[in-house]
């Protein structure tokens, strides 16, 4: 999930909610949620196909025509119905990528890297090696979900408009600043509807889960073997709810809590980022090279002073500025992986000296901004999916009240995350379903992994999801950072491999350090 520091309103892509039902670090591959670049040419209009399947069963039986791509990988296009209640109507093209198993293949391992809005195709291109332990006997397969990347992407704003949106103050303190947040949210929602219309009704996770079942069938797999990270855990849980008997093995790493309201998720995520920020500042102090001082109290004071300076005098980086929107996106992005903490420490030190270039690098990874100033569609698809997956408050006053409350328990991230969801107050299409728990009776054991100090998907969500699922098994990773398997924890890796290959689950209460 990406944080939605209003900045990119998102930024959230987990937006700071990323998770907002809604991964690794921007500075180094692999990059889960924060957004890999995509080479796809955006187009907001679903493709009309005159010939092809007219029933869901026929979509399941379609033949996939693979072609070589990306130096040794294979790519294809999956046809799915725009509306599963009318499978003979318009169709969408879903971009799919595959890396063949290095040994004898037992089927496919379908993965989703998070978001919502992250490109599965780009993730495999950049980080397929993360799964080398599993691809000895499984073809690695991923896809750009509908509305994302190369799969009929949602587009709402121009690049210049996205720059302006990211630059909006994520922690408004005056009436004028609060009006700016509201106006930005309203403009975003209206622009999305103008450019996409009723297509927005069909990009939710429920339809993505149906697409994944079509992909499973088209690949020739009788059962699904799946790994989902961050938001990908919500996609997996939704699949389990719809198709519990179609699952062979399912790993949900960095879980979301489907039963929690959107506003409650924002609060929990804000606390998660706040906790990880304090762990980062402690790390900084222990390094003896911390630009913020020699104690955590002085480090907090120095960070707050820097935030004040950026508020009053945004940093100039060429033709761009680093205001609070960019600053909080960069700070949040640097917290996703402990492997980036040393670099984040240096970046913040440079910002103290007036150099915001490093902050922009982190922020741009989180928001999907390319070197040429263009954006992939991470921000737009993230918002579109989040806003229809579950109900959101429709009164702007509620966001203002909650932001003030959240700031008391998460002073750095609470308000930013809540205000980052403002476009959902103005969304022009209704949510696809009410918020509810997912139980998935009839599913085989599902492995749920939670990291105790995960900033984007806090550990309490993994506990909740494992409890909700009729067959959920919780594996605890005691550590910092977002997700565990992709962060290469040896204990987690071994348990995941054993589960995927043999379906053996860890003993209750297992903790990896």
Catalytic, 482? Answer: yes
Query: Does residue 30 have a cis bond before it (omega within 30 degrees)?
Result: yes
**Residues 409, 410, 412, 413, CA torsion sign:** negative
Residue linked to tokens 């001082």: 293
On whether the CB atoms of residues 366 and 35 are closer than 8 A, the answer is: yes
CA proximity to 416, closest of 335, 301, 324: 324
Catalytic residue selected from 108, 230, 381, 439: 230
Q: How does 356-389 read in b/e, with b if 16+ C-beta sit within 10 Å?
A: bebbbbbbbbbbbbeeeeebbbbbbbbbbbbbbb
Catalytic residue selected from 213, 389, 454, 480: 454
Distance of CA 197 to the CA centre of its chain: 24
Catalytic residue selected from 122, 482, 487, 493: 482
Q: What is d(CA 270, CA 266) in angstroms, rounded to the nearest whole number?
A: 6
How many CB atoms are closer than 10 A to CB 63?
6
Q: What is d(CA 80, CA 92) in angstroms, rounded to the nearest whole number?
A: 5
Determine the 3-state secondary structure of 93 from DSSP: strand
Determine the 3-state secondary structure of 49 from DSSP: coil
Catalytic, 230? Answer: yes
Report, as residue numbers or ranges, the catalytic residues.
230, 454, 482
């Amino acid at each position: 999930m990406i944080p939605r520091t209003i900045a990119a309103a998102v930024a959230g892509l987990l937006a700071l909610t990323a998770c907002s039902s809604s991964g690794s670090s921007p500075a180094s591959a692999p990059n889960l949620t924060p957004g890999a670049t995509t080479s796809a040419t955006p187009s907001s209009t679903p493709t009309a196909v005159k010939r092809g399947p007219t029933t869901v069963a026929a979509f399941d039986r379609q033949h996939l025509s693979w072609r070589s791509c990306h130096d040794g990988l294979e790519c294809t296009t999956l046809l799915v119905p725009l509306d599963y209640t009318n499978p003979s109507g318009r169709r969408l093209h879903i971009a799919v990528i595959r890396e063949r198993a290095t040994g004898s293949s037992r089927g496919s391992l379908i993965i989703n890297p998070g978001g919502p809005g992250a490109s599965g195709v780009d993730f495999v291109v950049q980080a397929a090696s993360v799964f080398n332990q599993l691809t000895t006997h499984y073809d690695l397969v991923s896809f750009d979900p509908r509305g994302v990347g190369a799969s009929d992407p949602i587009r709402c704003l121009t690049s210049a408009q996205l720059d302006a949106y990211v630059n909006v103050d994520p922690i408004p303190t005056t009436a004028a600043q609060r009006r700016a947040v509201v106006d930005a949210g309203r403009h975003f929602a209206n622009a999305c509807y103008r450019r996409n219309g009723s297509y927005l009704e069909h990009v939710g996770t429920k339809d993505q889960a149906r697409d994944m079942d079509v992909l499973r069938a088209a690949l020739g797999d009788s059962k699904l073997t799946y790994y989902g990270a961050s938001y990908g855990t919500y996609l997996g849980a939704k699949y389990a709810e719809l198709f519990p008997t179609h699952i062979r093995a399912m790993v949900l790493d960095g879980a979301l809590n489907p039963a929690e309201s959107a506003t409650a998720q924002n609060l929990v995520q804000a606390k998660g980022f706040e906790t990880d920020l304090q762990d980062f500042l402690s790390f900084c102090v222990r390094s003896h090279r911390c630009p913020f001082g020699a104690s955590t109290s002085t480090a907090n004071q120095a960070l707050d002073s820097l935030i004040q300076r950026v508020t009053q005098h945004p940093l100039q980086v060429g033709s761009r500025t680093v205001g609070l929107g960019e600053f909080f996106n960069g700070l949040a992005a640097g917290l996703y992986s402990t492997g980036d903490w040393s670099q984040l420490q240096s970046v913040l030190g440079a910002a103290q000296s007036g150099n915001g270039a490093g902050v922009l690098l982190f922020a741009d990874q989180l928001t999907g901004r390319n070197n040429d100033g263009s954006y992939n569609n991470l921000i737009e698809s993230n918002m579109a999916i989040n806003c229809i997956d579950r109900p959101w408050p429709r009164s702007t006053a509620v966001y203002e009240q909650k932001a003030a409350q959240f700031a008391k328990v998460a002073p750095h991230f609470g308000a930013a995350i809540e205000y980052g969801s403002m476009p959902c107050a103005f969304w022009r299409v209704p949510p696809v379903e009410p918020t509810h728990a997912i139980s998935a009776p009839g599913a085989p054991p599902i492995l749920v992994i939670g990291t105790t100090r995960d900033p984007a998907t806090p550990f309490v969500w993994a506990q909740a999801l494992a409890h909700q699922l009729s067959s959920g098994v919780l594996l605890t990773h005691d550590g910092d950072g977002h997700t565990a398997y992709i962060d290469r924890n040896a204990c987690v890796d071994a348990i995941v491999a054993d589960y995927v290959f043999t379906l053996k689950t860890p003993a209750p209460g297992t903790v990896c350090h």
